[in-house]
Chain A
Amino acid sequence: MGKRQKLRSRLIRDFKLNKYLYLMMVPVIAYYLVFFYGPMYGALIAFKDYSPMKGILGSDWVGLKHFEDFFGSFYFLRVLKNTILISLYTLLFEFPAPILLALLINEVRRKKFKRVVQTITYMPYFISLVVICGIITDFTNADGLLNRLFVFLGYDGQAMLQKPELFRPIYVLSEIWQRIGWESIIYIAALMSIDLEQYEAARMDGASRLKQMIYITLPGLLPTIMIMFILRMGNLLNVGFEKIILLYNPVTYETADVISSFVYRKGLLEFGWSYSSAVGLFNSVINLVLLITANTLSRRATQNSLW
């Protein structure tokens, strides 16, 4: 009884004290409710046969039908495999690239050279995705720049974006090209906080530059690497589908179609709203599970975690 009253009086006092703050928060909370929690509620249509006439509430429940349809379809294994493979390749090749670049840049003693390398490597990050994909499409043409390079090296030129087996390498390599410089910034920033005395001591002990890099610099980066890795894991199934939508075509669906591009096609181009929402929901749930798993594992193993 007393506890409840205490809470009530606390609530009233807090409201009186902060009512203008709460007033300011109204649009912000409204925004999150409408555009984030609204869609979460709307995801209910994954369990219904949504028809625009009946609305979300009025449409008929169908239980897990759309999920079963998806899991049973030919597309399920294909998009799941593509999503996982593209993510894994990106994680394997694109994720370490900026770390390596940061380590290399960190070893450069000439300030001017350092600045030139940084400025140029993160230039591509500012170019819009549409333009980047336009350039990729053009360069991978049968007589595009990349093919000229291959012909120069003695291979045959071919329209690379029409080759399913080349889609993933093109995707991952262009990711590295566009993001390596930008993503290295965060690691370079982290490097600045490493204690210089450690290097001093290592030099005394006769450690070479390479050894210093491996035994001092790299461990110093580890916390940052872990945090970036956890964030990546939480987005594992959200591979850059905007880029995929810009680059793929029916010939390469076989290797390029991922869950989110599939959702986009089925939902917005073919109007399978409920089915597509079910696929999207599946994606979101797996992402959340991956994030929590990665975070828990990391906290246990290295004491670095998001929460």
Chain B
Amino acid sequence: MTTEQSIGDRIFTAINYTLLTLLVIATLYPLLYVLFASFSNSAQLLGHKGFLWRPLGFSLEAYKSVLNNPGIGIGFRNTLFILVCGVAVNLLMTSMGAYVLSRKNVMWNKVFMFLIVFTMFFSGGLIPLYLVVKGVGLLNSLWSTIIPFSISTFNLIIMRTSFMGIPDSLEESAKIDGANHFTILFRIIIPLSMPVIAVMILYYAVDKWNGWFYASVFIKDRNLFPVQLVLREILISNSTDSMSSGASAGDRFQIGETIKYATIMVATIPILCVYPFLQRFFVKGVMVGSLKG
């Protein structure tokens, strides 16, 4: 790639680098702003009118309030439950489905596949789903965010494609040794598919971590709110009052401003810390998924 560059090509390269740099700044600055603001002194921040290039003053007050808020603790606990149980259910159900659907010579597989893929393109709608969830008695339970979402059809297809790529001979020799399908799936197919399993765990885990809508529809008990619902109250409904109830009205307003930013950081730092390590898995996942088209 060390060929002579014409002037046109150089201009092209320069424009390209400029555009990309601008995009990087536009992506990063809002996040840095939140970071700086969260560490700022709230009175100073409130009086500040320009941009923010570093924390104004330095204060951990907002973080203290956020971490002392019982709602946040309960939220994290509930989300952890949903995450652990949910991803376990997801993996079990998705891998079983993907395994069966990846077998050849199973007469009904074509029918199953059609039934499943059809649901990607047509659905009964939100209200009927609500009635079903209500009907099976899952309302107001953390399981309402787990069971009705046991399988994402898109992930099922990714996993099935990957399972189909495993040579049949492995399965046959295991059968001769007396293995049944459960043994083949859990002892042979899954260990051989670790990259795809990792991708599935990540996809499902991010879904569970970020999920709020169905929880807001199915769960009314505040003690069962996942963390994103607690965040919604603080960030969108703007009810930081409960968090700084000890302070006087004026202070409350001031702290409220920085609490928002601290809340954002607390809720986002865990995922931002892991994502650079996860990113190659996600990229792989997209590529595996795109094979199917």
What per-residue 1/0 map shows which CB atoms of B260-293 lie under 8 Å from chain A? 1001100110011001100100110011001001
Across-interface contacts of A186 in B (CB, < 8 A): 286-287, 290
User: Does B169 sit within 8 A of A, measured CB to CB?
Assistant: no
For the A-B complex, the count of residue pairs with Cβ-Cβ distances under 8 Å equals: 258
Chain A contacts for B173, CB-based, 8 A: none
Task: Annotate B2-27 by CB proximity to A: 1 below 8 A, 0 otherwise.
Answer: 01001011001100110110011011
Residue contact A284 to B124, C-beta cutoff 8 Å: yes
> Are B12 and A185 in contact, CB atoms less than 8 angstroms apart?
no
Chain B: CB-nearest residue to A11 = B107
A304 — nearest CB in chain B belongs to which residue?
B293
Q: Is A5 located at the chain interface by the 8 A CB criterion?
A: no
Q: How far is the CB of A14 from chain B (nearest CB, A)?
A: 4
Chain B residues closer than 8 Å to A92, beta-carbon distance: none
Q: Which of B3, B264, B271 has the most CB of A within 10 A?
A: B264
Contacting residues of chain B (120-176) with chain A, CB-CB under 8 angstroms: 121-132, 135-136, 147-148, 150-151
Is B96 an interface residue when CB atoms closer than 8 A count as contact? yes
Q: Is the interface of B mostly helix, strand, loop or mixed?
A: helix
Q: Contacts of A210 on B, CB cut-off 8 Å?
A: 8-9, 12
* Smallest beta-carbon distance B271→chain A, Å: 5
Q: How far is the CB of B281 from chain A (nearest CB, A)?
A: 12
Is A236 interfacial (CB 8 A cutoff)? no
Flag if B126 contacts A120 (CB, 8 Å).
Answer: no
B132 and A42 contacting across the interface, CB-CB below 8 Å: yes
Whole-angstrom distance between the Cβ of A213 and the nearest chain B Cβ? 8
Q: Does B249 contact A (CB under 8 A)?
A: no
CB–CB A108/B17 < 8 A? yes
Given known A29-B112, A39-B125, contact A121–B24 (CB-CB < 8 A) = yes
Residue of A20, A113, A227 touching B181 (CB-CB under 8 A): A20
* B119 lies within 8 A of chain A by Cβ: yes
Interchain CB contact under 8 A, A189 and B286? yes
Complex Cα spacing A7 to B115, Å:
22
Q: Are A104 and B123 in contact, CB atoms less than 8 angstroms apart?
A: no
Contact between A133 and B236, CB atoms less than 8 A apart: yes
Q: Which of A262-307 contact B (CB under 8 A)?
A: 263-264, 267-268, 273, 276-277, 280-281, 283-284, 287-288, 291, 306
B-contact bits for A101-115, CB 8 A (1 contact / 0 none)? 100110111000100
- Verify A40–B13 contact, CB threshold 8 A: no
Which of A74-82, A138-146, A162-170, A250-258 lies on the face that meets chain B? Answer: A138-146
Residues on B with beta carbons closer than 8 Å to the beta carbon of A8: none
Interface residues on A, range: 35 or more
Partner of B20, one of A45, A117, A203: A117
CB of A155 within 8 Å of the partner chain: no
Give the residue name and chain of the B residue nearest to A29 (CB): B112
From B108, B128, B150, B267, contact of A42 by CB (8 A): B128
Cβ contact within 8 Å between A260 and B9: no
User: Interface of A with B (CB < 8 Å)?
Assistant: 10-11, 14, 17-18, 20-22, 24-25, 27-29, 31-32, 34-43, 45, 56, 101, 104-105, 107-109, 113, 116-117, 119-124, 126-131, 133-135, 137-139, 143, 145, 148-149, 152, 177, 180-181, 185-186, 189-190, 203, 208-210, 223-224, 227, 234, 242, 245-246, 260, 263-264, 267-268, 273, 276-277, 280-281, 283-284, 287-288, 291, 306
- Which B residues contact A (CB, under 8 angstroms)? 1, 3, 6, 8-9, 12-13, 16-17, 19-20, 23-24, 26-28, 30-31, 33-34, 49-51, 93, 96-97, 99-100, 103, 105-108, 112, 115-116, 119, 121-132, 135-136, 147-148, 150-151, 180-182, 185, 206, 209-210, 212-213, 217, 228-229, 231-232, 234-236, 260, 263-264, 267-268, 271-272, 275-276, 279, 282-283, 286-287, 290, 293
User: Which 10 residue pairs of A and B lie closest in terms of their CB atoms, listed nearest first?
Assistant: A39-B124, A134-B235, A280-B125, A42-B128, A39-B128, A128-B210, A28-B97, A40-B124, A36-B119, A14-B107
For the complex with contacts A24-B100, A130-B236, A134-B234, 7 further pairs of A-B residues with Cβ separation under 8 Å are A14-B105, A28-B96, A32-B119, A130-B235, A185-B282, A267-B130, A284-B123
